[in-house]
Chain A
């Protein structure tokens, strides 16, 4: 079966073949989901946001001028939408949900214990969720999407040097979490 490039698919969608959009969705949904989840830290809500982002991208497809990669353009939408959602959520529920956050903390560490003998990558993903948003986004984009610092910079609106610093700090923060919780044996 022929694999169409992103640009070919976008041209076809612009010409009215709406069903081709499902090919683009299938291509990017997993990665975009990981990105949204690294900010939102709730799978159901991340999925809901991702649906909104895909609808938003479809409506704005006419404005897409092929100047950048579709992936970069789309991840930027996901990043900004997720940040807006998390900021609104923080403003509305900061005090009420403090206890829930603590509960979530315990839950995560319990899950990590379950993974001790299992999948390392799953346990690492859970620890990444404990990192501040900008760290977890950079880690996910760099390691999961295998994006360059330049591309990451375009998505999160930071210079290449700042992305490098963020990556370095994120890695060290993750290393500290692993150490503090005695997961060195299992995860490193």
Chain B
């Protein structure tokens, strides 16, 4: 049987032929037993293929997947929180270093700068009041000491949060 006839039989089977073509094919099938057998064979195959059922993954598939999804979402949240925490902790000393540099350059070279620094300095003195006088330390040093303290506490809480999150993740895994 040639390829074209086979193709026509397939098209007839799939209902893709128009009225005239269908009539011609039916005539062809009536005249040739070989073509008719081929058509009947493909029709049975088509019928059996239509009866096929989908295969199924394991029973726990959905619950496993949803569990993986929760872990992934939680991990993502923890990672983002940790990164934001680290960035914030790093930003504080950077800001303070910048402030110190500006403080030094302005107080040394600029009269306007000096007046700005003077204002800042007096404001800090006003805020911290007697503590500076009592400890007889400069406002900058006091700021550094406070910052170190804040940083130590922040780092402690950050790592505490991280280990708790890790424990939570292990629990839901």
Contacts and interface: CB of A to CB of B under 8 A. Distances in A.
Interface of A: 18-19, 21-22, 25-26, 29-31, 33-34, 37, 43, 46-47, 50-51, 54-55, 58, 120-121, 124-125, 139, 143-144, 164, 167-168, 171-172, 174-175, 178, 184, 187-188
B45 A29 contact: no
Interface in B36-70: 41-42, 44-46, 48-58, 61-62, 64-66, 68-70
B81 interface: no
A114 to B, nearest CB: 17
B10 interface: yes
A55 B72 contact: yes
Contacts, number: 95
Interface of A is mostly: helix
A21 B70 CA distance: 11
B55 A33 contact: yes
A71 to B, nearest CB: 13
Contact of A172 (B6, B14, B48, B64): B6
Given A26-B62, A144-B52, 8 more contacts: A21-B66, A47-B61, A50-B61, A51-B64, A121-B48, A121-B53, A172-B10, A188-B48
Contacts of B14: 164, 167
Contact of B45 (A22, A25, A50, A178): A178
A164 B10 CA distance: 10
B7 interface: yes
21 contacts: A21-B66, A22-B62, A22-B66, A25-B62, A25-B65, A25-B66, A29-B62, A31-B54, A33-B57, A50-B61, A51-B64, A54-B65, A55-B69, A58-B69, A120-B51, A125-B52, A125-B55, A144-B54, A168-B10, A171-B10, A175-B41
